Structure 1
Amino acid sequence: MTSTVNSYISQMNELNIEQIHRDAENKLAYWRNDSHRRINEFYQEKLEELQNYITEVKALYETKMRTIGNYLNQLANQQDMSEEDSRLFIHSTNQAIQQTLEELKQICVQINPHPIIIDESEICIGKNFSLKKLARCSSQIPYTESSSAAIATNNEFILLHQHPNLCLFNRSAQLIRQCLWTDEWIRDMCWSTTLQLFFIITSSKVFFADEQIMSIGTVDNFCRQTWFSCTCSDRSLYLSTYEWGSSIFEFNLQQLPALDHQWKPPMTCKPSEGINDIQYSNETLALMVKDGQAHERYLVVKSIRTFDTIWSFSLGSSTNIRLMTCCPLKNNEWLVVDGAQLQIYHITGRGKNVEKIHFESAPYRASFLGSSMLVVASELSLNSYSIWF
């Protein structure tokens, strides 16, 4: 009994409402600063566009003014013309000058900025997520069996492999940009808010791309491992290996490819188990684990500081090889995507199943686009769902 009481006291002491408050304010401050950054970048882009346009307008203006000057010189210096020819010349020249002046008057710079409209649903405070409150699928982006089901999102865009291209879509499912992907099969992708970069993982390489996928590079001198999944915290990039008895590597985002930690079995999983997916959230790391012998499958949530298991959730056994992944929610809750059973589970911060929904097409991955849209990569399409509270 004494140990139980001490355990409760220890858990109570760990609860720090002021720290929770500070963390929430820090998230709001990050959103504000990131919004200011985006506005400034957009302003600079439009300012450069305006300056280029003004240069063109000035050139046109100077050309028109020279034309009028030539006409005036002709009027002032007309000689050896009959009265009729002179009258016709003056009339036609006056018309040409008048037309050129009218063209000059039409030169203007039209700028009609629309006010920024903030969708208040983008920031939800104290509202509970529910799978049953998902709106009907609002859009679908198809892809072929040759495409990877890996996806990555931030507040603005969805990064998706649509064979043979790497594609960037906005929240309206409009294609913003695409580039040919000729490297290995994409295992996984994630977004780093710290670096404002996408990471793209193949079995042997780690790529990074800017938000508009205008430039794609590789991280040099990486460990000689076979990679399978990835996730980012504010400080680190985490990669799991593709093998029974999977390991997890933590790399410093500011000093890539500097290795900070490496966890091996049995801290990560049993030697007979493999990690399908890893996701970071609020100083924890969620692992989707499958036993290759018993075929048991489960979600395990670990502390990123100690790597101790906080809780786990069993998905039962299955010999189906379809992927199972997870996606963080607020309040330390999780979505679990079970492609084998065609289910998505909503799991509480204590490892309890709140609800589940069934999919006709096997779901493989889920990710949030801001806080008002959930995207689910299924067998043959990416599906978007609006979130209603």
Structure 2
Amino acid sequence: MSRRCAIDTCQQSSRVLCYCCNENLCLEHLSTHKNSKSFLEQIKSFNEEVQKFDAEKFIERDRKKLNKWREESLKKIQRYYENKCEELDQFYERKIHEQRKEVDALQRRVIYYNQYEYSTTIAELKQKFSSIQQNGIPIHFRSLTIDPNCIAIGEFKREDFDLNELSLPYERLNIPKTATFSMTSSEKYFLIDQNSDLVLVDQDSRIVKQIPWQFGSIRDMCWSFALTSFILITEINKTYLLKEKTLSITCLESMANQLWILCTCSNSLLYLVSLNHAIVEFCLLPRLISNRRWDQPDTCQKFETIKDISSSDDLLALIITSEKTQMVHLILRSLATFDQIFSIQLDIVNHRSYRLSMRCCLFKKNQWLICDANTSRLFHIGKDGKVKGTFKYEQEPFHLAVFDSKILAIRTENTVDFHHL
């Protein structure tokens, strides 16, 4: 006599005996039973993997990372301490030198004039010197505070960025002044123009490499993910490719003798702005070829100027100034159709005296950061086309670049400041 299927809700007769669990099953539930068994075996296998997991091995590996961070932090503290020691030495040398000059000058005057007239002056000099002898100079200390979020263990959950609360620079590089203050970033490095050199800086703000540059003044530069290379346009009407891995420099001959002033890359496309404000799209792969072109008034009106260009995967951002209205706008266009997505008027009056740079870079997905050296201000534009925040910078910000949405580099006249975001 046949038995019923072991599944309680099933009324069919069994056709198969499962030798693993010793249960009689109908043909319909046999497949489900196999899958259940397979799933249970996967759980069992995964459980065994969890039990065998050697956490100590991974803890040891990650502690090496923490130790490296500690060593680098201590080096920074040591450098800061040494700089302050040198500053202290120079201060005392300067003070003593000033005292000696004043005493020498007083001696010369006393020889020719009534010495009693200078008794008050002598008393004041003695008092100043006595104060230094007894008390030294005042040194004011602030306790070193460490941002508890500078190391995030586990998944990093970023709070909404507020430009109004931009942190102080955690690192500052002294960089010579250049004509265009060019700078950009890849997934690994910042590239900074330093006249006769190109400087490659990593995310820890360390100079990794200085690359000799002998191809003229750089107008602009951008990063190409498709080519894993930096693209640089120069004032001698030539465009160059700097390979990130080999640091080799090659001239793109097919783009020579064309006067470009601005550039940006999106995936496998390159966008260049010409002196007459045309925007030309180039395909980079499989070979460099001109694809589309837009001219005035599609790019901007006759009385307007394109001050900068930047891009995301699907959008093109343009900073445009108007001589007619004296207004400054950020305009966002679709890369697919070149249709305008939105135009936002910035709180900047375009005076004729304003001749310094206005630059723009992608911050996060369809969010943008803008710097204006004329007013020393930064702007944060949200993906909804609204100003989310502004910030008055301590120096004139000539250029800016963002690394992995975590580090903001701002180039001033003689420095590059690095901020945590």
TM-score in terms of structure 2 length: 0.60
CA–CA distance in structure 2, aligned partners of residues 163 and 122 of structure 1: 41
Query: Structure 2 stretches of 5 or more lacking a match?
Result: 1-59, 67-150
Determine if the alignment matches structure 1 residue 362 to structure 2 residue 396: yes
2:11 corresponds to which residue?
Answer: none
Determine if the alignment matches structure 1 residue 352 to structure 2 residue 386: yes
1:172 corresponds to which residue?
Answer: 204
CA–CA distance in structure 1, aligned partners of residues 328 and 341 of structure 2: 17
C-alpha spacing 1:304/1:346, structure 2 compared with 1 (3 Å): same
C-alpha spacing 1:210/1:265, structure 2 compared with 1 (3 Å): same
1:374 corresponds to which residue?
Answer: 408
C-alpha spacing 1:137/1:303, structure 2 compared with 1 (3 Å): same
Q: Greater shift after overlay, 347-356 or 293-302?
A: 293-302
Determine if the alignment matches structure 1 residue 194 to structure 2 residue 226: yes
> How do 1:288-299 residues align onto structure 2 when only pairs under 5 Å count?
288-299=319-330
Whether the 8 Å contact between 2:196 and 2:214 is mirrored in structure 1 is: yes
2:304 corresponds to which residue?
Answer: 273
> How do 1:54-69 residues align onto structure 2 when only pairs under 5 Å count?
none
Q: What are the superposed Cα offsets for residues 109-158 of structure 1, whole Å, 9 maximum, x if unpaired?
A: xxxx9658597699866742221343210111122223541111123211
Q: What are the superposed Cα offsets for residues 331-352 of structure 1, whole Å, 9 maximum, x if unpaired?
A: 4221111111111011122221
CA–CA distance in structure 2, aligned partners of residues 147 and 273 of structure 1: 23
CA–CA distance in structure 1, aligned partners of residues 154 and 330 of structure 2: 28
Whether the 8 Å contact between 2:239 and 2:256 is mirrored in structure 1 is: no
1:227 corresponds to which residue?
Answer: 260
2:194 corresponds to which residue?
Answer: 162
Give the counterpart of 1:302 among 284, 309, 333: 333
One-letter identity of the residue aligned with 2:212: L
CA–CA distance in structure 1, aligned partners of residues 156 and 270 of structure 2: 27
2:51 corresponds to which residue?
Answer: none
Q: State the Cα RMSD in Å.
A: 2.4
C-alpha spacing 1:381/1:268, structure 2 compared with 1 (3 Å): same
1:207 corresponds to which residue?
Answer: 240
C-alpha spacing 1:124/1:199, structure 2 compared with 1 (3 Å): farther
CA–CA distance in structure 2, aligned partners of residues 254 and 352 of structure 1: 35
Superposition deviation, residue 364 in structure 1: 1.7
Determine if the alignment matches structure 1 residue 312 to structure 2 residue 312: no
What is the identity percentage for the equivalent residue pairs of Structure 1 and Structure 2?
27
Superposition deviation, residue 291 in structure 1: 2.2
1:321 corresponds to which residue?
Answer: 355
2:290 corresponds to which residue?
Answer: 259
CA–CA distance in structure 2, aligned partners of residues 380 and 278 of structure 1: 24
One-letter identity of the residue aligned with 1:352: K
For residue 132 of structure 1, give the secondary structure of its aligned residue in structure 2.
helix
CA–CA distance in structure 1, aligned partners of residues 295 and 164 of structure 2: 38
For residue 218 of structure 2, give the secondary structure of its aligned residue in structure 1.
coil
CA–CA distance in structure 2, aligned partners of residues 383 and 306 of structure 1: 37
C-alpha spacing 1:127/1:195, structure 2 compared with 1 (3 Å): farther
Q: What are the superposed Cα offsets for residues 261-306 of structure 1, whole Å, 9 maximum, x if unpaired?
A: 1111111101222211111113110011122444322110001111
2:173 corresponds to which residue?
Answer: 141
CA–CA distance in structure 2, aligned partners of residues 163 and 181 of structure 1: 7
One-letter identity of the residue aligned with 2:311: Y
C-alpha spacing 1:306/1:160, structure 2 compared with 1 (3 Å): same
Whether the 8 Å contact between 1:164 and 1:180 is mirrored in structure 2 is: yes
> How do 1:327-346 residues align onto structure 2 when only pairs under 5 Å count?
327-346=361-380
Superposition deviation, residue 175 in structure 1: 1.6
Q: What are the superposed Cα offsets for residues 336-384 of structure 1, whole Å, 9 maximum, x if unpaired?
A: 1111111101112222111100012111221112232111112221110
> How do 1:95-174 residues align onto structure 2 when only pairs under 5 Å count?
127-146=159-178, 148-174=180-206
C-alpha spacing 1:213/1:120, structure 2 compared with 1 (3 Å): farther
* CA radius of gyration, larger in: 2
Whether the 8 Å contact between 1:177 and 1:213 is mirrored in structure 2 is: no
